[in-house]
């Protein structure tokens, strides 16, 4: 039996905040590994064109190449159409019935999870590991939100001793489009890949 962390997202591009969060989850909860899982066509990303999945996967692979306990999974991008976390976790549990999954999220997702597709199934199939202390737009303190989800959905929720870094992939894309330095925000190999392939030059 393995304890597997799941870091989902578009990773467009992956940045240092993602890596820090995954490392904290790995060490704090004694995970065997953390799988970075770039999304296929996320149903909530309608505000911009998402970069080709193969390119996003390559950026993830380059970002995690120095971490033997991190891996890149193309599980979601191999699926057609919109990809939902509930479906992904269901399929993962079928393929790995003896493993325990820990889904790593930010504070915002803790409050928005009831708007996800089949939120009860998400919380039934994975432990939620939540980063951050409070969420500015929240209608209740985080501890109250955790208690609410535990009572309503029997959710298993753990806190991560890690603040969410104030890094947004959208800002990185904009900086790259203007030829501004992004080296302090993303791993060096990712910055090189973005620059070489001019990934966000047409924004």
What is the pLDDT confidence band of residue 9, given thresholds at 50, 70 and 90?
A: very high
Which of these ranges, 16-20, 43-47, 174-178, 179-183, has the smallest mean pLDDT? 43-47
Cβ-based neighbours of 108, under 8 Å, separated by 6 or more: 135, 137
Cβ-based neighbours of 128, under 8 Å, separated by 6 or more: 102, 103, 105, 110, 113, 149, 155, 156, 157, 158
Please, what is the Cα angle at 106 between 15 and 130, to 5 degrees?
125
**Residue 13, preceding peptide bond in cis (omega within 30° of 0):** yes
- Closest C-alpha to 84, from 56, 103, 108, 107: 103
What is the pLDDT confidence band of residue 46, given thresholds at 50, 70 and 90?
A: low
CA–CA distance, 133 with 23 (Å, rounded to integer) = 18
Residue pLDDT, tens place only, 63-113: 999 999 999 999 999 887 777 899 999 999 999 999 999 999 988 899 999
Is there a contact between 117 and 143 (Cβ–Cβ < 8 Å)? no
């Amino acid at each position: 039996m393995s304890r597997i962390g799941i870091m989902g997202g578009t990773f467009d591009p992956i940045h240092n905040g993602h890596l820090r969060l995954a490392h904290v989850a790995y060490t704090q909860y004694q995970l065997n590994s953390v799988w970075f899982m770039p999304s296929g066509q996320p149903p909530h990303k309608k505000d911009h064109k998402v970069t080709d999945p193969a390119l996003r996967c390559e950026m993830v692979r380059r970002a995690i190449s120095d971490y033997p306990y991190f891996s890149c999974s193309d599980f979601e991008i191999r699926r057609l159409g919109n990809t939902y976390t509930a479906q992904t976790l269901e399929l993962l549990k079928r393929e790995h019935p003896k493993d325990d999954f820990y889904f790593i999220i930010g504070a915002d997702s803790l409050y928005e999870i009831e708007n996800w597709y089949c939120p009860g199934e998400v919380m039934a199939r994975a432990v939620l590991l939540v980063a951050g202390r409070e969420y500015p737009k929240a209608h209740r303190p985080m501890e109250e939100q955790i208690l609410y989800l535990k009572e309503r959905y029997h959710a298993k929720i753990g806190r991560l001793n890690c603040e969410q870094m104030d890094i947004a992939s959208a800002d990185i894309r904009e900086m790259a489009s203007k030829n501004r330095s992004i080296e302090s925000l993303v791993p060096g190999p990712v910055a090189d890949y973005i620059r070489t392939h001019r990934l966000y030059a047409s924004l």
